[in-house]
Chain A
Amino acid sequence: MGLLSNSATLLGKELRTEFRSRELLTTTIVFILMVVVLFSFTFDPTTAESRRFGPGLLWLAFLFAASLMLQPCFLREQSNDTLSSLRLAVSDPFAIFLAKVGANTLFLMVTELLMLPIFSVLYNVPVLPELPWLILVLFLGSLGISVAGTALSAISAQARMRELLLPLLLLPLLTPVLVASTEVTVGLMDREPIVQWKGIGFLAVFDIVFLTALWLFGEYLLEE
């Protein structure tokens, strides 16, 4: 009945559903791959330029992919009105959000980690040396994208033109994540890699602010 045990049960269900069909993961990975490849046609990927522009394009690709991947999040709860049965079953509606945020962050990170070696090869940018730090910034950035994305997907699921609406709402909102994540990643992929603590701290602040907002207002997002 507690928040954490409910969230764990719900997270288990989200993961089981996805790993059974793998439809979200496969379509997202293919989409990011296409975007990254297409981006590489828009400039000359010499090593110097790649290091400067690559990370930004990579994060932009993640952002676009996420804004598509997050759409089914609440839409799939509509076909059999399972959102209602979930709301009836859990003691704290925030558990529904925690589980979905957790699942979405995990899915995003899986696709990002799979993309990393491909990106490294296509753009001639080394990713191994600073891998732990890269994973940290991928986590903090993906968490920010998930928190905002899950909240907004609950909103867009209740509106018309939801396929176009979610990216429209989400992309401007995630500008800080895009900027900060890109900065930290550029620092890590530089010839002399540095860890931008300011950026990491900033991403953590973003995550905390929006998780708190979701905690405070989540139940209203689900209200009927």
Chain B
Amino acid sequence: MTKRLLLGVVALVLVIASAYASFYIAPEERTMGVIQRIFYFHVASAWAGFSAFLICFVANLLYVWRRDQKYDWLGVSAAEVGLAFTTIVLITGPIWAHPVWGIWWTWDARLTSTFILWLLYVSYLLLRTLVEEPDRRALLSSLFGIFAFLDVPLVFGAIRWWRTQHPSPVIMGGANSGLEPTMKAVFFFSAFAMHVLMVFLVLERYNVEKMSDEVDVLRRELETA
């Protein structure tokens, strides 16, 4: 078995295990019932997505400094995977909110900030489709990626301070405050599983990008020969 395949299997096993733990091992929450179990999936995805964006940021910095193509491959891979996880967060949010509070979107601070985060990285990917020359594309998207990531704490800060004045249902209700020990254990296990999955997906995407780039180079050489 190649290392990549092994990692994929491990990731799959961990995710299944954490799903099992979320449903059968964690105790039922008092007020919200079964639907609360989505919390393990929802918050773990958020953390994995954010870690992916952090990887993207570091890759962007390294590209601007070193100009090695592999940092560009890493950047786009991490951004896409991060976006996928963030999309899961934005979908599971309303799924959780609706049965509990009867509304689909609660303008909860973290969820709203996550939405902006999502928009920023959608823009990052959109920018890439609009620049054709590969080195220019890598440089410009790395620079935008750096600006976008620097913006993230400012987005979260502004929304937390000024957009949660009206009482609104807080979805994650203090993720780390007052979590019963078993719940805490299940949560951290879920987060770990999601991170392993994230790393696996980033590596797979990286390989696809690497091969796609090599094909492009070959094609150009053929065209000019």
Contact = CB atoms under 8 A, between A and B. Distances in A.
A9 B135 CA distance: 33
B131 A169 contact: no
Contacts of A72: none
Given A173-B148, A175-B116, A179-B163, A155 B143 contact: yes
A155 B120 CA distance: 15
A186 B219 CA distance: 58
Main DSSP-derived SS at the B contact region: helix
Nearest to A178: B158
B140 A210 contact: no
B150 A158 contact: no
A198 interface: yes
Interface stretch (B34-42, B122-130, B167-175, B209-217): B122-130
Contacts, number: 75
Contacts of A148: 147
Interface string B102-139: 00000000000000100110010011001110001001
Contact of B147 (A175, A198, A199, A210): A210
A176 B109 CA distance: 13
Given A175-B116, A199-B162, A213-B150, A155 B127 contact: yes
Given A152-B147, A159-B130, A220-B64, A176 B123 contact: no
Nearest to A165: B130
A172 interface: yes
Contacts of B132: 160
Contacts of B123: 168-169, 172
Contacts of A158: 131, 136, 140
B26 interface: no
A138 to B, nearest CB: 18
A161 B130 contact: yes
Interface of A: 148, 151-152, 155, 158-161, 165, 168-169, 172-173, 175-176, 179-180, 183, 198-199, 202, 205-206, 209-210, 213, 217, 220-221, 223
Given A169-B127, A172-B123, A173-B147, 6 more contacts: A151-B147, A155-B144, A173-B151, A176-B158, A209-B154, A217-B143
Interface of B: 64, 116, 119-120, 123, 126-127, 130-132, 136, 139-140, 143-144, 146-148, 150-151, 154-155, 157-159, 161-163
The 5 closest A-B pairs by CB, nearest first: A176-B158, A172-B119, A176-B154, A159-B130, A179-B158
